[in-house]
Structure 1
């Protein structure tokens, strides 16, 4: 049974039993404390915890998920995969234990011909919480399970909670017996390899008041409404229904695994190491495909860094399989074909996904070449110093800064006969992880407790009047000070204000929040920020400018009209620039992110090379022609499917509800889904002035533009600058380019003459320095402090010049100078001196130690430095001691 068929059967089964089929949420989590959707229940947490009233009494979904905490284990076991899909059904105060157990048993054991999965009843076992007699009895009565196939476990295994005060409850897990070939008999309590969990039913029935650990918490009492939350791993069920050994061999993953084998000339099943590599490729390519489908782009931070790591691990695995050239073009196409039965959008968005993947692959293959060059130098220096281990900080720098895999560093070092200081590397990696965890924990402490909004949200959604009105009369239903509700706030305090209605736009869709004020009888509030902390609720962060404000009072929200005008100009301008990009560059120039505020817009789009000045000018002209043509801007609300059918563009990675707002500019010329505020006709934008274009990743570019009056002010400033240059250079504006070019050429010629004079003066010192050579044993030594010099290059030229004068001798040259307030030392040796054992690298390192720093280099030429200028005489003495 194909994976897509299993999910179809599941959703149909629960839809027929009154469950609303909820589309999968994005892999990019709405929860600010986590980067990704890591479990099927994550999108339902606000409803399960009572933070937001559930829109349905019962629901079902297929949720795509990402977990990367065990990324190093991917491919090694049958259980570890970064991307997976969770089937689930939920009840919000509707049916409870009996209904959940009845549905689960019916779907699992119903014959395939009748729409079920057809598992044999004799192969199914369950576990229940140790004190949950009710669930154990229901499994016997509803499912007819014998008591010996119902096993009890403790809190660690069969009790669920969020880790914070709130709902919790026992759970019951369903296991499949895979047979004696997989382990010992006796149920899941004996062997969880043979008995594999396929479905978990959580019975949320208790309110927890204090949660100290997974197993240590206090129960305040029963929940007023009991909920059901279940989760069934789709890949695991597919594995059993398809008769394969692990998730990598299922129909949605195996095609990429097989292709990796074909491209490398390796056979899956012939070598454990190669099998692991093929599984890594198959898993990571699929995960990357799905992340990019949800709008994540490779980068060096956050979600983008996780994606980049997945892509680079895939490339690394292919290299270990013997494929050193590009492979993503074929691997991603195979993954697309395997996944589009479940996710048709992966096919329609594929051109953008492919562009991102191929761009990242090209960049990383270059990175591998650059990293190899850096590593080769580090290996040479390590061997030259006589050390047996490559420093851990070098390996960490390559890994952290250049993205060079530690496995490749280990392999290269081993080929050179060196070890890597893994202890130091692991310590640095541990410190980095600790910083990341501390940062995440800090963010979680600040943002996690959104329960403060639950009571306000229960009163209904905040009505937004700002599309048509700049003022809205409302009632204050809540005030929040330092995270806690209060009844009143006075002048000087900063608080959050919750209103029944508002005209102030909350930050969303790339548009910055409105500026404005909130006034009432005896108080005035300055609006600092407007956000949506939970779905349907608007929170206004304000400073109480005067008076005292209290819950229950009437208030009027007043939008700053000038700021709103600029914001609508910028947001409509963003749509126009996006349409102009696609007109000039083609449909692959798809928006990948945006930000706009009054007078300014920034737009990221899929493109893998810099725009030429001519192309930028063309995009700007197309944009301003659209402004000039006074195109009508029309907004409409309609069902999402209807909007897509009429060609409305859903921006890559954005989340949309069932009903969406469509913004047309010039009819179909620009038709996008957007909840922002807009002008009524394009001429109101005034002017679009592209002021910047830059790279924001291997396959993304960014354009920045000033809009409206800000665009005019920029042109006026540039006009004044041209006028000033014309006066100073006594040239007409149209002659400025030639005049500045002439001055620049004259300046460069003068600089060359000065450099020639300086070089000549520098070389004039060489004979005098060579003449100061002193014999120590059978070696001539030139050891001098030269005072202040402009650069280390000048010092190096003098050292090599003196060495050239003494080339026929057994000579060592050691020069020190003050360069920018710090001592720098250069050591050069002749061939005869090196034959006698002199090593410039070792000497420079010793001098640098005296100077309070570090150094080294090759035997013939090396450099060192430090921070203590007063130690220069001692450093020169150290050279003499070294030669003696």
Structure 2
């Protein structure tokens, strides 16, 4: 049974039993504290917790999920995967335990010919929470399970909660017994790979408080409305139904594994380590494909970093299999073909996906090449020093700065007869992870408890009237101060205001929030921000400028007309530039992010090379021609499928409902799904002035533009500069470029001559320095302070020149100077001094310490610095003392 068929059987079964079939949400999580959708129930959490009233009594879905917390275990166990699909059926105050258990047992054990999964009842076990006698009785009655195949377990495995006060409840899990060949008898309680968990049923029936851990909390009563949340692991059922050993061998994953085997010439099943690498490749390529299909692009932070890590781990694994060249064109194509039956969008978006993936692989292959060069130098240096261990900080530098995998460092070091100081490397990695966790915790602590909004959301959605109105009458539904619901807020306080209706636009879709005011009888509020903390609810952050605002008070929202005009210009300008980009570069130049506010916009798009000045000029010209042509801007609300059939572009990572807003500029020339505010005709945009183009990753570029009056003001400022230059240089405007070019050439020639004069002047100081040499033991030492030295490079030149002029007898040169207010000291030794045991790197640490700083370098030359320029004489004296020692 193919994975796509298992998926469709699930949806058909529950759809026929009154469940609303809900499409999979994006892998990009809407929860600001979580990067990805990590479980099938995540999109339904607002309904399960009562934050938002459920729009249907029962639902079903097959949700795409990503988890990377166990990434190091991928390939090593039969069930660890980064991308997986979780099927779920949900009840919001409708059926409860009996219905959930009945549905699960029927679907699992019904014959394949009647739409079921055809599992043999004798192979199925269940676990329940130890005190849930009700569930045990139901399993016996509905499924006829004997006592020995029902196991009672504790809260750590069979009790669900969010980890916070609120809804919770016992769970029951269904396991498949793979047979004695896979492990010992004893059922799921043995925690053995023999028993594979395939279905988890959560009975959300209690309210809990005083939560201190996953297993320590107080049950304070039953919920007024009990919910069901169940989930079946699609990949786990697939490998059981397909008769293979693990999830990496199912029909959606195995083709990539097989292609990796073909490319490498390594047979799957022959060598354990090679098998793990092939499974890693198969998993990571599929996960990357699905992430990029949902709009994630490789970068150095957040979701993009996780994607980059998956891609680079794949490249690394291929290299360890002996494949040094590009492999993604083969692997991603195979993964696309395997996933398209369930997710047609991966084929529809494959040009964009493949461009990003291939560009990332090419970049990382170059990184590996440069990293290998750096590692080779480090290995050579270690061996020359007689060491058989490569320093852990070197391995960490390669990993952290260059993205060079530790596995490759270990491999190359081993080939050279060295080991790597893993303890030091692991310690540095641990420190980095702790910093990252602390940063994540800090960010998370600033996210408000969304439960405060549930009572307000229960009144319904906030009506946004701002598309057609600039002011609107409403009433105050609620006030929040410091995350707590209050009845009033007075002058000077900052608060959140929840209204029944508003004309103020909440930040979304790349458009910044409106500016404006909210006024009522006896009060005035300055609007600082407008957000959507939960779906369907708009919250206004305000400063109370005058009076007291109270719940149930009348309120009038007033949009700042000038700011809104600028925001409309910028948002419509974003659409125009996007259309112009695609006209010039083609359909692969797809928007991947945007931000616009009054007077300014930026647009990120998928592309892997810088745009030439000529291309930017052409894009700007097309955009301004569209403005000049006064194209009509039309907005329509249409069913999502109809909008897409008309060619309206959906932006990756954006969430869309069943009915969407389509914005046309010039008909199909620019047709996008967009909930932002827009001008009526393109002429109202005024002007587009592209001011910058830059990279935001190996496969993404960014253009920035000023819009409207701000664009005109910037051009006016440039005109003023041109006028000043023509006046100062006494040159006509059209001759300015050549005149400035001539001046720059002359300046460079002058700087070169000055440098030559300075070099001669420095060289004339060498005899004086040689004359200052003193003999310390058997070593000649020059330790002098320099005056009138501009840079550390000048000091270094004098140090090396003086050392070379001292000849072959053991010599040390230490020169120090005040460079831009800070002390700099450089020490150099010749070969004879080093043979006598005198090393520059050792000396510099002592001297720099005297200066109140630090330093480092090699045995032949080292540099240090500090804070105290008055300590230069003492630092030089410490050099002499170090040579004496």
- Give the TM interval when normalised to the shorter protein: over 0.9
1:139, 1:817 → 2: CA distance? 84
Shift of 1:151: 1.4
Change (3 A) 1:878 1:756: closer
Correspondence 1:787-866 to 2 at 5 A: 787=787, 789-807=789-807, 809-833=809-833, 839-845=839-845, 847-848=847-848, 851-866=851-866
Of 400-409 and 759-768, more deviation after overlay is shown by 400-409
1:95, 1:211 → 2: CA distance? 28
Shift of 1:660: 0.6
For residue 175 of structure 1, give the secondary structure of its aligned residue in structure 2: strand
1:844, 1:435 → 2: CA distance? 31
Tell me the equivalent position of 1:121. Answer: 121
Change (3 A) 1:703 1:140: same
Change (3 A) 1:558 1:868: closer
Shift of 1:523: 1.2
Tell me the equivalent position of 1:758. Answer: 758
Of 772-781 and 701-710, more deviation after overlay is shown by 772-781
Unaligned residue ranges in structure 2 (runs of 5+): none
Match status 1:234 vs 2:197: no
Tell me the equivalent position of 1:540. Answer: 540
1:436, 1:832 → 2: CA distance? 48
Tell me the equivalent position of 1:655. Answer: 655
Cα deviations by residue, 1:65-106 (Å, 9 ceiling, x for unpaired): 111111111111112111111000001111111111111111
2:655, 2:190 → 1: CA distance? 44
Match status 1:97 vs 2:97: yes
Change (3 A) 1:883 1:660: same
Cα deviations by residue, 1:248-293 (Å, 9 ceiling, x for unpaired): 1111111111111111111111111111111111111111111111
Shift of 1:816: 3.0
For residue 447 of structure 1, give the secondary structure of its aligned residue in structure 2: coil
Correspondence 1:170-209 to 2 at 5 A: 170-209=170-209
Change (3 A) 1:218 1:760: same
Q: Verify the 8 A CA contact 1:184 1:191 in the aligned structure 2.
A: no
Of 518-527 and 768-777, more deviation after overlay is shown by 768-777
For residue 211 of structure 1, give the secondary structure of its aligned residue in structure 2: coil
Cα deviations by residue, 1:786-836 (Å, 9 ceiling, x for unpaired): 245222221222222223333354544333333334443334444555566
For residue 62 of structure 1, give the secondary structure of its aligned residue in structure 2: strand
Cα deviations by residue, 1:659-716 (Å, 9 ceiling, x for unpaired): 1111111111111111111111111111111111100000100001111111111111
Shift of 1:751: 1.1
1:528, 1:118 → 2: CA distance? 59
Tell me the equivalent position of 1:882. Answer: 883
Superposition TM-score, scaled by structure 1 size: 0.97
Shift of 1:418: 4.2
1:863, 1:244 → 2: CA distance? 61
Correspondence 1:154-169 to 2 at 5 A: 154-169=154-169
Of 494-503 and 363-372, more deviation after overlay is shown by 363-372
Of 806-815 and 403-412, more deviation after overlay is shown by 806-815
1:140, 1:631 → 2: CA distance? 69
Tell me the equivalent position of 2:597. Answer: 597
Question: Once superposed, what is the RMSD of the aligned Cα atoms?
Answer: 2.0
Change (3 A) 1:719 1:144: same
Change (3 A) 1:416 1:772: farther
Match status 1:136 vs 2:146: no
1:210, 1:849 → 2: CA distance? 53
Match status 1:316 vs 2:297: no
Tell me the equivalent position of 2:744. Answer: 744
Tell me the equivalent position of 2:355. Answer: 355
For residue 30 of structure 2, give the secondary structure of its aligned residue in structure 1: coil
Change (3 A) 1:329 1:764: same
For residue 251 of structure 2, give the secondary structure of its aligned residue in structure 1: coil
Shift of 1:4: 0.5
For residue 222 of structure 1, give the secondary structure of its aligned residue in structure 2: strand
Q: Verify the 8 A CA contact 2:817 2:872 in the aligned structure 1.
A: no
Q: Verify the 8 A CA contact 1:848 1:875 in the aligned structure 2.
A: no
Correspondence 1:221-370 to 2 at 5 A: 221-370=221-370
Q: Verify the 8 A CA contact 1:238 1:250 in the aligned structure 2.
A: yes
Cα deviations by residue, 1:411-435 (Å, 9 ceiling, x for unpaired): 3444444443333332332232223
2:459, 2:307 → 1: CA distance? 40
Q: Verify the 8 A CA contact 1:823 1:872 in the aligned structure 2.
A: no
1:874, 1:522 → 2: CA distance? 71
Match status 1:52 vs 2:43: no
Change (3 A) 1:189 1:722: same
Q: Verify the 8 A CA contact 2:846 2:878 in the aligned structure 1.
A: no
Of 364-373 and 270-279, more deviation after overlay is shown by 364-373
Q: Verify the 8 A CA contact 1:336 1:347 in the aligned structure 2.
A: yes
Tell me the equivalent position of 1:585. Answer: 585
1:21, 1:865 → 2: CA distance? 67
Change (3 A) 1:823 1:394: farther
Tell me the equivalent position of 1:725. Answer: 725
Correspondence 1:455-854 to 2 at 5 A: 455-787=455-787, 789-807=789-807, 809-833=809-833, 839-845=839-845, 847-848=847-848, 851-854=851-854
For residue 514 of structure 2, give the secondary structure of its aligned residue in structure 1: coil
Shift of 1:379: 4.2
For residue 284 of structure 1, give the secondary structure of its aligned residue in structure 2: helix
Change (3 A) 1:524 1:854: closer
Correspondence 1:39-118 to 2 at 5 A: 39-118=39-118
Of 218-227 and 448-457, more deviation after overlay is shown by 448-457
1:812, 1:496 → 2: CA distance? 69
1:446, 1:845 → 2: CA distance? 43
Unaligned residue ranges in structure 1 (runs of 5+): none
Change (3 A) 1:570 1:829: same
Shift of 1:517: 0.8
For residue 169 of structure 2, give the secondary structure of its aligned residue in structure 1: strand
Change (3 A) 1:874 1:345: closer
Match status 1:433 vs 2:433: yes
Q: Verify the 8 A CA contact 1:129 1:155 in the aligned structure 2.
A: yes
Of 103-112 and 407-416, more deviation after overlay is shown by 407-416
Cα deviations by residue, 1:431-472 (Å, 9 ceiling, x for unpaired): 322232233333434325211111111111111111111111
Change (3 A) 1:243 1:825: same
For residue 68 of structure 1, give the secondary structure of its aligned residue in structure 2: coil
1:822, 1:446 → 2: CA distance? 40
Of 261-270 and 858-867, more deviation after overlay is shown by 858-867
For residue 366 of structure 1, give the secondary structure of its aligned residue in structure 2: helix
Of 519-528 and 45-54, more deviation after overlay is shown by 519-528
Q: Verify the 8 A CA contact 1:814 1:876 in the aligned structure 2.
A: no
Q: Verify the 8 A CA contact 1:636 1:663 in the aligned structure 2.
A: yes
2:878, 2:233 → 1: CA distance? 72
1:478, 1:855 → 2: CA distance? 60
Q: Verify the 8 A CA contact 1:784 1:876 in the aligned structure 2.
A: no
For residue 220 of structure 2, give the secondary structure of its aligned residue in structure 1: strand
1:384, 1:783 → 2: CA distance? 29
Q: Verify the 8 A CA contact 2:783 2:876 in the aligned structure 1.
A: no
For residue 343 of structure 2, give the secondary structure of its aligned residue in structure 1: coil
Cα deviations by residue, 1:276-312 (Å, 9 ceiling, x for unpaired): 1111111111111111111111111111111111111
Would you say how many aligned residue pairs link Structure 1 and Structure 2? 884
1:689, 1:29 → 2: CA distance? 34
2:83, 2:21 → 1: CA distance? 22
1:587, 1:395 → 2: CA distance? 42
1:492, 1:176 → 2: CA distance? 63
For residue 215 of structure 2, give the secondary structure of its aligned residue in structure 1: coil
Runs of 4+ in 1 over 6 A off after TM superposition: none
Q: Verify the 8 A CA contact 1:62 1:87 in the aligned structure 2.
A: yes
Tell me the equivalent position of 2:372. Answer: 372
